[in-house]
């Protein structure tokens, strides 16, 4: 890797260039406010995170390497060794170095003078691994001076890289020697395999991100090679970020983006969806124990005459009494503790399934909407442009509608997790939440139906294609704006913890608690 300034790295910190070209800037940045001015200066003022490409990470690495090399008056290879040892912490490298340079050199393995001096030898240099003799040009040494032929170095470095990320620094093969150098120096010198080099440089780039703590993180989407630099000191309380690969996730917990629901609720919900206790609840609600062997039995047919497949015991499903001599069990005798538990478990699992099914349904609808948007942008927008005799830019209202649908499906999905954990005793809050959720969901369904069904008439020129396209434009745009407003109100209320309801209840209780005052009768 060349650390000169000629690598064409884009400067993400200056105001001169953005990560991408001007027409792509929106996909690189996340804005904390909804109404942002179109000027780039206003956009930059609202940035809460940056999406970094691999070349951007390399630029940060190069800057740190050059700084350490210049300030400490050492080579760039030595600067890399120090930065790798101190987890890319430039200030710590400089502090430790100027406090005790000798101690740092011994700790890291950077020898100031070679142990073996080969300057006066041109030929007959013995390799410490294969013990053959070579010329000076055919051997390579570290700071210690121990000579090894390039063939042996190649095998040594290849094995080191294939062993994993530990290959970033390489130790002298001599067992008694503590000398260390940056593997990059040896990779550039003796490795010719392009795939092996790329593998090393991937480890090298990733080391910078992984050493940054919580400042930079890799996008968790499988196969994505972008990193997210979350702006330190950002005033934004929201952690949802959108990568260039289109994957959206929560910076704080790493799960799918889940605003307005907090990370703790999401963690509990995901755990519940995979919890074995739900299987236990299902068993308790939908099966009964055989009265004889106590094995759980599920009723799969209509007849109440049950036969245990294990012990062959015959019994009645309703009363669990033996079928021999069984008459009727229709008289109410009062529920025992087991029946009460079973009913309670059935209610609990029915409640959970209500929220889970709607959570999963909205996720499924969102994935379908994402596929529909992709189809619209790749094929249908062009057809619509030709048939309506207008430019694709004037048809962007259809794209905005689908984007709104996708975002609203995501929000609506997580409101069902929120609703599940909303305490049932807080009835006023529950009613207010369900009202907001219902209004938002109804608005979304109207928008989704319009975008999914009515748009087809104009794209595929069906029998209803004579409809006025202008009317359709106004309808879809209006539904998009109305749905956006519904969901903004829902998100705001949930992020405030439904505080408006709490304030309303508080004011009512204060009014009720005031003593009644009697008016004095005027004579």
CB-based burial, 391-404: b 16+ in 10 Å, e otherwise: eeeebeebeebbeb
From the CB of residue 51, how many other CB atoms can be counted at a distance below 10 Å? 22
C-alpha closest to that of 412 among 339, 466, 361 = 361
CA 114 to mean position of chain CA atoms: 49
What residues pair up with 180 in beta bridges, in sequence order?
Answer: 171
- Say whether pLDDT at 512 is over 80: no
| The model scores a pTM over 0.75 | no
More confident residue, 236 or 345: 345
Give residue-wise pLDDT tens across range 308-324: 888 888 888 878 888 88
pLDDT of residue 37: 36
pLDDT band at 246 (very low <50, low <70, confident <90, very high): confident
Q: Which domains does the chain have, with CATH numbers?
A: 64-208 (3.30.40.10), 347-501 (1.20.120.1750)
10 Å CB burial of residue 482 (0-12, 13-18, 19+) is middle
Please give the angle made by the CA atoms of 52, 53 and 55, to the nearest 5 degrees: 115
Using alpha carbons, list the distances in angstroms from residue 456 to 399, 451, 472.
14, 8, 11
Across the range 297-317, mean pLDDT stands at 83
- Residues 309/310/315/316 CA torsion (nearest 10 deg): -60
What mean pLDDT value characterizes the chain? 81
Give residue-wise pLDDT tens across range 113-172: 888 887 777 788 899 999 999 998 899 888 898 999 999 999 999 999 999 888 898 899
pLDDT of residue 399: 93
The residue to which tokens 């010329």 are assigned: 135
CB-based burial, 144-172: b 16+ in 10 Å, e otherwise: bbbbbbebbbbebbbebbeeeeebbbbbb
Is residue 419 within 8 Å of 440, Cβ to Cβ?
no
Across the range 424-433, mean pLDDT stands at 90
Task: Report the alpha-carbon distance of residue 221 to residue 316 in Å, rounded.
Answer: 53
Strands (E) across 64-153 are located at 125-126, 133-134, 139-140, 148-149
- Strands in 29-31's sheet, in edge-to-edge order, are 29-31, 47-52, 227-230, 216-218
- Biggest CA-to-CA distance, the chain: 130
pLDDT of residue 281: 65
Give residue-wise pLDDT tens across range 29-51: 333 333 333 333 333 334 478 88
Hey, which residues are catalytic here?
303
Task: Report the alpha-carbon distance of residue 241 to residue 246 in Å, rounded.
Answer: 10
Is residue 509 within 8 Å of 501, Cβ to Cβ?
no
Across the range 223-245, mean pLDDT stands at 76
Give residue-wise pLDDT tens across range 435-481: 999 999 999 999 999 998 888 888 777 645 555 888 889 999 999 99
């Amino acid at each position: 890797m060349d650390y000169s300034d000629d690598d064409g790295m884009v400067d993400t910190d200056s105001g001169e260039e953005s990560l991408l070209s001007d027409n792509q800037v929106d996909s690189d940045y996340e804005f904390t406010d909804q109404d942002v001015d179109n000027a780039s200066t206003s956009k930059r003022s609202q940035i809460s995170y940056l999406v970094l490409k691999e070349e951007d990470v390399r630029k940060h690495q190069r800057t740190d390497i050059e700084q350490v090399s210049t300030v400490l008056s050492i080579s760039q290879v030595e600067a890399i060794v120090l930065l790798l040892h101190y987890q890319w912490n430039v200030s710590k490298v400089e502090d430790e170095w100027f406090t005790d340079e000798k101690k740092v050199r011994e700790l890291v393995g950077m020898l100031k003078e070679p142990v073996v001096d080969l300057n006066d030898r041109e030929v007959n240099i013995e390799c410490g691994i294969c013990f053959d003799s070579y010329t000076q040009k055919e051997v390579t040494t570290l700071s210690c001076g121990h000579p090894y032929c390039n063939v042996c170095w190649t095998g040594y470095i290849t094995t080191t890289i294939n062993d994993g990320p530990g290959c970033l620094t390489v130790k002298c093969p001599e067992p008694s020697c503590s000398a260390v150098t940056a593997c990059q120096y040896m990779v550039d010198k003796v490795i010719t395999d392009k795939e092996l080099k790329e593998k090393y440089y991937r480890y090298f780039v990733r080391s910078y991100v992984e050493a940054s703590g919580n400042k930079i993180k890799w996008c968790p989407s499988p196969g994505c090679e972008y990193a997210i630099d979350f702006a330190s000191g950002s005033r934004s309380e929201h952690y949802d970020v959108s990568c260039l690969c289109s994957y959206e996730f929560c910076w704080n917990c790493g799960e799918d983006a889940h605003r307005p629901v907090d990370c703790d609720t999401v963690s509990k919900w995901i755990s519940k969806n995979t919890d074995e206790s739900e299987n236990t609840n299902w068993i308790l609600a939908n099966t009964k124990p055989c009265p004889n062997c106590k094995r759980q039995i599920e009723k799969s047919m209509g007849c109440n005459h049950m036969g245990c497949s294990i012990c062959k015991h015959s019994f009645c499903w309703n009363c669990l009494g033996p079928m021999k001599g069984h008459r009727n069990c229709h008289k109410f005798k009062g529920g025992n503790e087991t029946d009460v538990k079973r009913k309670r478990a059935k209610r609990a699992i029915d409640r959970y399934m209500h929220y889970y099914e709607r959570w999963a349904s909205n996720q499924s609808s969102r994935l379908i909407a994402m596929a529909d948007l992709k189809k619209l942008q790749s094929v249908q927008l062009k057809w619509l442009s030709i048939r309506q005799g207008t430019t694709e830019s004037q048809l962007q209202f259809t794209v905005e509608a689908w984007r709104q649908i996708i975002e609203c499906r995501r929000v609506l999905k997580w409101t069902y997790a929120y609703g599940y954990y909303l305490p049932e005793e807080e009835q006023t809050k529950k009613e207010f939440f369900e009202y907001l959720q219902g209004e938002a969901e109804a608005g979304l369904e109207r928008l989704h139906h319009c975008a999914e069904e009515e748009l087809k008439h104009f794209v595929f020129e069906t029998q209803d294609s004579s409809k006025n396209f202008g009317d359709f434009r106004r309808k879809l745009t209006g539904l998009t704006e109305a749905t956006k407003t519904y969901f903004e109100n829902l998100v705001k209320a949930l992020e405030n913890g439904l505080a408006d309801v709490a304030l309303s209840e508080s004011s009512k209780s204060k009014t009720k608690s005031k003593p009644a005052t009697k008016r004095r009768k005027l004579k």
